[in-house]
């Protein structure tokens, strides 16, 4: 049995190593091509722009619901023409996602194993009233895409872009609030329930409020844009398009499940806001966005 477990651990380590090598390879390629395009700036089309729409930090964490999803980004970049109709582009973008997340069942009790100050293991039960998180995610995006363009009328062009982005979170912060929080303990070894012992971290608190932050990692996104350019003079054009972006993998980076409100061994207050998404270390947390983009092209 021991050799089988060692074999599985080695196997997992090998897979993670391959994933890290693959990610570094992808990032180096994207950055390398971006640098090449910038070095070709004299014969490339420069653009600036902004996009806005629905920005959803998609999650498969059970028992949670997200709402009020908003997202946007500002961007600059180059498109290097390969032919009259085909070009390859890259640049850098700064994106923001904002949303509210709350429990689907507001009175549900969530449990996790914890260890108290005397190193005794117990089941930590947390129940909240009207708990919600205001989530804000900031990220740097590095796109790499192919563009097809053609004139459909005098001064009007059709554009289609497809490619990928490296999505690198800068920070993923939460503001957690609840009308009330109650934390209790169950010690299975001695069949003991503790509901009100504040000096050891068990009991209730009203008007809970705390800040927290998720640990994150970079992922790859697909991107598509469909739009039009409208010439404004000989050297400038207005660009308007619809866009769709979807992340693959998970931006969440943690090695163990946590209670969404942490255990404080010395008080029933000041519990750490770990966040609802931290309750499942294997959760897939992926940015998905669609909406409108406006830009200005310098020919």
Tens of pLDDT, residue by residue over 168-203, are 999 999 999 999 999 999 999 999 999 999 999 999
pLDDT band for position 106 (50/70/90)?
A: confident
pLDDT tens digits, 203-261: 999 999 999 999 999 999 999 999 999 999 888 999 999 999 999 999 999 999 999 99
Structure tokens at 194: 């503790």
List the CATH number of the domain containing 280.
2.40.160.20
Measured CA to CA, the distance from residue 213 to residue 140 in angstroms comes to 17
Overall pTM > 0.85: no
Note down the domain range covering 67. Answer: 2-298
- Total tally of structural domains belonging to the chain: 1
Q: Which of 117-121, 171-175, 289-293 has the lowest mean pLDDT?
A: 117-121
Measured CA to CA, the distance from residue 28 to residue 34 in angstroms comes to 10
Q: Of 109, 103, 112, whose CA–CA distance to 61 is shortest?
A: 103
pLDDT beyond 90 at 43: no
Q: How many CA atoms lie within 13 A of 152 on its CB side?
A: 10
Q: Angle at CA 108, nearest 5°, toward 107 and 113?
A: 135
How large is the average pLDDT for residues 36-43?
A: 51
Radius of gyration for the alpha carbons in the chain, expressed in angstroms and rounded: 24
pLDDT band for position 18 (50/70/90)?
A: very low
pLDDT beyond 80 at 41: no
List all residues 6 or more positions away from 174 whose beta carbon is below 8 Å from its beta carbon.
133, 134, 135, 136, 211, 212, 213, 214, 273, 275
């Amino acid at each position: 049995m021991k050799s089988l477990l060692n074999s599985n651990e080695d196997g997992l380590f090998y897979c993670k190593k391959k994933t890290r090598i693959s990610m570094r390879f992808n990032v180096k390629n994207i950055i390398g091509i971006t640098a090449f395009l910038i070095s070709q700036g004299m014969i490339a089309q420069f653009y600036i722009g902004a996009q806005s729409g629905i920005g959803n930090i998609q999650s498969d964490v059970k028992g949670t619901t997200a709402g009020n999803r908003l997202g946007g980004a500002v961007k600059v970049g180059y498109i290097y023409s390969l032919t009259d109709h085909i070009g390859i582009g890259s640049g850098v973008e700064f994106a923001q996602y904002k949303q509210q997340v709350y429990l689907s069942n507001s009175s549900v009790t969530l449990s996790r194993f914890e260890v108290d100050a005397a190193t005794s293991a117990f089941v930590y039960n947390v129940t909240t009233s009207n708990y919600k998180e205001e989530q804000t995610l900031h990220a740097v995006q590095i796109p790499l895409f192919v563009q097809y363009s053609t004139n459909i009328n005098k001064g009007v062009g059709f554009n289609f872009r497809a490619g990928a982005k490296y999505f690198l979170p800068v920070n993923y912060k939460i503001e957690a609030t609840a009308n009330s929080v109650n934390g209790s303990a169950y010690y299975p070894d001695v069949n003991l329930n503790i509901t009100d012992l504040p000096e050891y971290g068990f009991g209730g608190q009203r008007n809970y409020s705390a800040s927290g932050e998720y640990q994150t990692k970079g992922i790859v996104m697909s991107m598509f844009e469909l739009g039009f350019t409208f010439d404004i003079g000989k050297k400038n054009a207005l660009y308007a398009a619809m866009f769709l972006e979807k992340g693959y993998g998970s931006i969440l980076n943690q090695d163990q499940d946590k209670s969404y409100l942490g255990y404080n061994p010395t008080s029933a207050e000041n519990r750490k806001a770990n966040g609802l998404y931290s309750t499942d270390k294997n959760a897939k947390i992926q940015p998905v966005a669609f909406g409108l983009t406006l830009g200005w092209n310098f020919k």
